[in-house]
Chains A and B, each alone.
Chain A
Amino acid sequence: MSATLAELRQALNAIEGTGFRRRPALPFGIGAIDDRLAGGGLRLNALHEVVGATPDLADDAAATLFLTGIAARAWGTVLWIVRRRDLFAPGLAQAGLATERVLYAEAADDAEVLALMEEGLRHRGLGAVIGEVKRVGLPATRRLQLAAEGGRTIALMLKRHGRSGVDPLGVPSAAVTRWRIGCAPSAPLAVAGVGRARWHAALVRQRGGESGEWLLEACDATGRCALPARLVDRPAAADGRDSRAAA
């Protein structure tokens, strides 16, 4: 019934022209990336894959934070299906994902992760479902993609590197976008210390769109990434905040 109501509500909005329309995609708020993405952002009713650039745990943590930022900008409760309990909620909260929004589930193996993800996607009451898997085949991802379609729950999959050294993005998948995130040296500061973290973000493959590669500044307290100041097409001094980085 609620789905019907939502449709009716949308139709009313379109007739009245109030200008408010629920977007089917989640934009990054960064023009360079949103233009490259097919729907102007990450499609909400689709599966997206993220991989750390190397098997190193630091890159794994970077990919984790990238997912955290996306989930933080989505709506509602987030179901995070983990394989081991090493997520640190204060760190996630600093990337914009408040701890009250997260529901954690621990799965015993990859098959269970996929089953729980599908359960969460079919519930339709979640904002995002995140699963950590190691090896997953094409049929399973297609199943998840089908489960995600028709809802507003964004399906995010953190793929881990296996022992064999096979690139997790090399296996076929039905995911709409596939990202590779790696650590990059942080924004330089004028004084000693660690600046805002930066990532090498690569959109490796995208259905209906082109790939791309960017140097991103990590999520701020609201889960938003940014481009480093000198890449933005305006004088760095006008921003003021990143004047040191531009100097």
Chain B
Amino acid sequence: MQKHEKHTRDPRFHIVKRAGMSRGKALLIRFLAILAALLLCSVLSTLLIGANPLKFISTLFSGSLGSSRRIWKFAKDSAVLLCISLAVTPAFRMRFWNLGGEGQVLVGALASIACAYYLRDSIPNPLLLLIMLVAAVLAGAFWGLFPAICKAKWGTNESLFTLMMNYVATYLVAFALMEWTKADGSSTLGEVAFGHLPRLYNEYLLLILVVLALTVLVYIYLNYTKQGYEISVVGESEKTARYIGINVGRVITRTVLVSGAICGLAGFLIVAALDHSITTATVGGLGFTAIMVSWLAKFNPLIMVGTSALIIFLQQGGAEMSTIFNVSSAFPNIVVGIILFFIIGCEFFIHYQIKSRVSHKKGGVGK
């Protein structure tokens, strides 16, 4: 770019779009970016908390993979993040910036726990679970419905709309908690003893298997069905979609409903398999992290397995660091933020190349 150059002079470098890069090379660039980011993080952790760089790297690994309990937690957390990432993906493929995953999961969780809280053991557990599931899916879908309809009808800015819906959901949960704990005024809900998913080996395995199955389903839905195709066309160009007779408004609404429904499912899983309770921080920012997981994977559900694992790996390693060195639990977010900057930045080198004017005729690549 010619940012420091005078207009009278020809810039020494200019940027051109690459025709396409082999998968291996693209992967290598991303890998190098992550490596560089880790290097920076380890230097930073030396400066900030006085840990030596090697300690940083080794803690990253021991934090996620240090014991079988940690491995299970790593797998469980990755699965939850993967589930929410899968949920936001259909909407993103359509370039509908749904930043409301957080809220949609939360209302799903709220609907589930409300069913368990009110119905208790008045009905058999399998039936209760079914009702909880349906309620969660409907609640999640409903939470996405408003922004979707407004976007389809009037082109309302969906990212801000869904963002605000997150806070509405948060305060709704705060309200429900206060109502439910009126007696003691603690506004924290203890474990609800009903509507637990059955344990399969341990409480995590069932959840992990469900999410893996969902990954395949979403992959098939997006790549091999007519609806998935419509989503891609609308994402590429709304004008093209209209021209070939796709009802854009309907596709937007339907897709966001699907997104919201899967978010609701994630909320159900969190409540029925893991927490059996709810707080305003039940989702804890995963709705936002999921957006980046989905984007990092280029909206491909299969690659998301890897990207969600990467983010959780960093977060758990970072959390381990903050425990060992007794620093703020926000430390992992710094690590994740830096890694994201590097991965976001490295995309440039995959899609563009810098050519120098001198070697232009020879087709040389100056990098």
Our verdict on whether A and B bind, yes or no, reads: no
Please report A residues at the B interface, Cβ cutoff 8 Å.
none
Q: Which residues of B contact A (CB under 8 A)?
A: none
